[in-house]
Amino acid sequence: MLAMLAMLAILASSSGCSPAEAVVVAEPKLVEQPAQRSTNTWPPDFTRLSADLVPAARTTNPQKVLLRGATIMTAAGSTIENGDLLLVDGRIEAVSAEHLAVDDDVRVIDARGKFVTPGLIDTHSHLGVYPSPSVEGNSDGNEATDPITADIDALNGIWPQDPGFERALAGGITALQVLPGSANLVGGRAVTLELRRALSSRAMVFAGAPKGVKMACGENPKRVYGARNARPSTRMGSAAALRSAFQRARELQTVYRRHERAFNKWQDNAERKLEDRPDPPTRNYGLETLIGIMDGTLLLHVHCYRADEMVQILEIADEFDFKVRSFHHAIEAYKVRALLAERGVSVSTWADWWGFKMEANDAIVENLALLSQAGARAIVHSDSQIGIQRLNQEAAKGYHAGLAAGLELTEDDALRWITANAAWALGIHNHTGTLEPGKRADVVLWSAHPFSVYARAELVFVGGELEFDIAQNPVRPWSDFEAARDHNTEVTP
């Protein structure tokens, strides 16, 4: 039985977009999960479909912890040898090169000879929507029924008991973005989660994270719909369908704005009568997603491999006045790295995946390093239930490939690929991604240098709470499917 579970975990690596954008980007409007709007207000909140994105009440008890004597890699430009890191009430209280004096109620952990980093962040995951075990009944990542499915939300497909979450946590991941797959040109909304055990997906939502939207160009949509003799079956059809969708959204945006002016005029009238209140236009959740992209309240993430297609997406973005937050996969990003740096578009990619389809052929292992050198925000993502467990090693591969090519690169640069830059792409950089006072206590204690293949995450704190301890793994069961392993029950096939 245990052997079968282990095999299922290995085989369950299917993700929605694995092997098979135009001015400087403005800071996103961080959505702090506002209270439900009154029915007497307008416009609707484009950043969510309903109140189901408000995190459910959760009992938290962050410890007061001092990690003493570690090498602290801050991802903020400095590394502190033999330093102290103090966590209080879920926040980073102090980062010090000197030993800190603390009260008796602070748990002191001897971290001498070990390394501390911010919690790792994966910008591209399908955990929960393609969970283990990988069976038809659990496959909820692609609503492959229409090339434009902007009205769907990955949050509604996430199974919070996916054992993959626990394995990601054991690899030092503290936050990740779960996206729909890449069958469709517009796959729907994406959601950023923090890795805490919960009974519902909304209880895992990273509070304060703006919502994302997944789009895809290239081979995947044209393969899926071309096989059905439907549009889009070519890249021409894909571009046309995107323009048509954004044009409809622009027209609805005009209707919404017109109604908003009329509503505000009525509301400002001291002698207003209820019967004179203007009737609101008909809601369209899918087009509201595209309006959210154009308004900048939703962050756009585009699955796109080829350099020429990234430029085409940026042209469409110019046409409809929206921004691309990150190109994903983007193995040819090195060809347009100066443009991406100028436009403020981040790149979420792999260290060395290539060759699994035509658009993945022109990859080079120096992609990440060249992007960094050009001033673009390079990011290592996983798009894999396996790769997410060792994102630190993936960053190390990209780092050493850059050094071997003679490019100027620091360990801090490479660490930011899986921390600070990833946080920026998800709009949570004001909350996490670096080890600085005031930031969330998303922290990993490593047994060795995190770029070593021998390094293991020993302690993982999420918002100041110890969610993973290698000495008592697991701290508590995550999934019913692995209860036998958690209780050390001897099971024979």
In a 13 Å sphere around the CA of 10, the CA atoms on its Cβ side amount to: 6
Distance CA 107, CA 461 (A): 13
User: Which pLDDT score, from 0 to 100, does residue 287 have?
Assistant: 97
- Residues 6+ positions from 201 with CB-CB distance below 8 Å: 128, 155, 156, 158, 159, 160, 191, 193
β-strands 120-125, 346-349 pairing: unpaired
**Residue 29, SS3 per DSSP:** coil
For residue 245, the one-letter residue type is A
Distance CA 103, CA 89 (A): 14
Burial class for 471, CB neighbours closer than 10 Å (0-12, 13-18, 19+)? exposed
For residue 302, report the phi and psi dihedrals to the nearest 5 degrees. -120, 120
User: Which pLDDT score, from 0 to 100, does residue 63 have?
Assistant: 82
Beta carbons within 10 angstroms of residue 280's beta carbon: 16
- Residues 6+ positions from 133 with CB-CB distance below 8 Å: 8, 9, 12, 481
103-126 as b/e: b if 16+ CB within 10 A: eeebebbebeebbbbbbbbbbbbb
ω before 55 within 30° of 0 (cis)? no
- Residues 6+ positions from 338 with CB-CB distance below 8 Å: 374
User: Which pLDDT score, from 0 to 100, does residue 12 have?
Assistant: 39
Rounded to 5, what percent of the chain is helix, strand, coil? 35, 20, 50
Distance CA 257, CA 43 (A): 8
Per-residue pLDDT tens over the stretch 41-94: 566 665 554 444 445 545 567 889 999 999 999 999 999 999 999 999 999 999
User: Which pLDDT score, from 0 to 100, does residue 478 have?
Assistant: 77
Instruction: Identify the CATH class of 2-486.
Output: alpha beta
- Residues 6+ positions from 135 with CB-CB distance below 8 Å: none
| CA torsion through residues 37, 40, 46, 51, sign | positive
Q: Strands of 263-412 (E only): list them.
A: 299-304, 326-329, 346-349, 378-380
**Residue 11 zone, left/alpha/beta (φ > 0; ψ -120 to 50; rest):** alpha
Per-residue pLDDT tens over the stretch 184-217: 999 999 999 999 988 889 999 999 999 999 999 9
Distance CA 117, CA 380 (A): 16
User: Which pLDDT score, from 0 to 100, does residue 351 have?
Assistant: 98
User: Which pLDDT score, from 0 to 100, does residue 27 have?
Assistant: 41
Beta carbons within 10 angstroms of residue 77's beta carbon: 11
Beta carbons within 10 angstroms of residue 254's beta carbon: 10
Low-confidence spans in the chain with pLDDT less than 70: 1-60, 473-477, 483-493
β-strands 212-216, 186-194 pairing: antiparallel
User: Which pLDDT score, from 0 to 100, does residue 476 have?
Assistant: 65
User: Which pLDDT score, from 0 to 100, does residue 45 have?
Assistant: 66
The DSSP secondary-structure symbol of 281 reads: P
User: Which pLDDT score, from 0 to 100, does residue 474 have?
Assistant: 57
Query: Residue 16 is inside which H or E element, if any?
Result: none
User: Which pLDDT score, from 0 to 100, does residue 5 have?
Assistant: 39
Q: Where are the domains of the chain?
A: 2-486
User: Which pLDDT score, from 0 to 100, does residue 365 have?
Assistant: 98
Predicted model pTM: 0.88
Distance CA 154, CA 152 (A): 7
Q: Strands of 119-267 (E only): list them.
A: 120-125, 173-178, 186-194, 212-216
User: CA-CA distances (angstroms) from residue 6 to 10, 125, 161, 476?
Assistant: 6, 20, 16, 19
